[in-house]
Amino acid sequence: MTGVFEDPETWRRERRALALAGLTVGFVPTMGALHEGHLSLVRRSRSENDRTLVSIFVNPTQFDDQADLARYPRVLDVDLAALRTERIDYVLLPRADDLYRDGFRYRVTERDFSTALEGAHRPGHFDGVLTVVMKLLQIAQPDRAYFGEKDWQQLSLVRGMVDAFFLPVTIVGCPTVRDQDGLALSSRNSTLRPADRQRAPRFHEVLSSAPTPGEAARELNASGFEVDYVEERDGRRLGAVRIGGVRLIDNLPMEGTR
């Protein structure tokens, strides 16, 4: 690994040197506790850019639930080892005080889609997401930035923000990586109790097999999930459930539903 940066300014000096050398930079923003889903983004970036930068930052402003923030897994040493194995060039580990030197007085708000689905159940979530992505893109100055379809609404809102603010970056969406049993990989999966982990694949199974969103919600309830929503939008079926206090989200194209 060439460099681990905490200070945004130090990275930006490196970034200028890369630009002068004519090298492209791919960027993968994460909150850490890296799994194969994250690593699929990292590998895609490596294959499409001369250098790849990965950031790890558990962004407090996107958590509407403080217990969820406190419980969020933090395994920095394991993550850095995984990124070394992937031969990643650069890691950015920003400090909250640096990123939010304004005290979150300035923020990016989308006023329509961000209030639906996840936004309807997690007030302020997408203000936090869009604001931190804006800050990270300004710092990283990548040619391309990689986001997972697992967080489909997030991907869509980030694309919209990049378009609305003429940000000079290409957003690359990457397919959802799943465990063999169908459960979408998520850092939160490691916080599931064993019995809940066993039942969790039923979420994807029902989402992809129920004839209607209403029927999916009923079947999920019957299987012991608390359902936040199952909705269809723009050719996708999206859902969020809670099991044993852990929140899971997933989505799939409607051709994928039987």
User: Which span sits near ligand AMP by CB under 6 A: 159-167, 179-187, 220-228, 244-252?
Assistant: 179-187
**Residues in binding contact with ligand AMP, number by CB under 6 A:** 17
Q: How far apart are the first and last CA of the chain?
A: 45
Taking residue 6's Cβ as centre, other Cβ atoms within 10 Å add up to 12
Of 35, 38, 121, 204, the catalytic one is: 38
Element (H, E) at 30: strand 25-30
Our CB check for ligand AMP shows the closer of 23 and 191 to be 191
Our CB check for ligand AMP shows the closer of 10 and 190 to be 190
Interface residue with ligand AMP among 25, 31, 217, 238 (CB under 6 A) is 31
Q: Judged by CB under 6 A, does residue 148 bind ligand AMP?
A: yes
Q: Judged by CB under 6 A, does residue 30 bind ligand AMP?
A: yes
Our CB check for ligand AMP shows the closer of 129 and 230 to be 129
Our CB check for ligand AMP shows the closer of 30 and 114 to be 30
User: Any catalytic annotation for residue 121?
Assistant: no
Least CB distance to ligand AMP at residue 186 (A) = 6
DSSP 136-161: HHHHH--SEEEEEGGGHHHHHHHHHH
User: Which span sits near ligand AMP by CB under 6 A: 9-17, 65-73, 79-87, 169-177?
Assistant: 169-177
Q: Judged by CB under 6 A, does residue 177 bind ligand AMP?
A: yes
Task: For tokens 């690994």, name the residue.
Answer: 1
Which amino acid is it at 91?
Answer: V
DSSP 39-87: HHHHHHHHHHSSEEEEEE---GGG-S-HHHHHHS---HHHHHHHHHHTT
Exposed/middle/buried for 244, CB within 10 Å: 0-12, 13-18, 19+? middle
Catalytic residues: 38
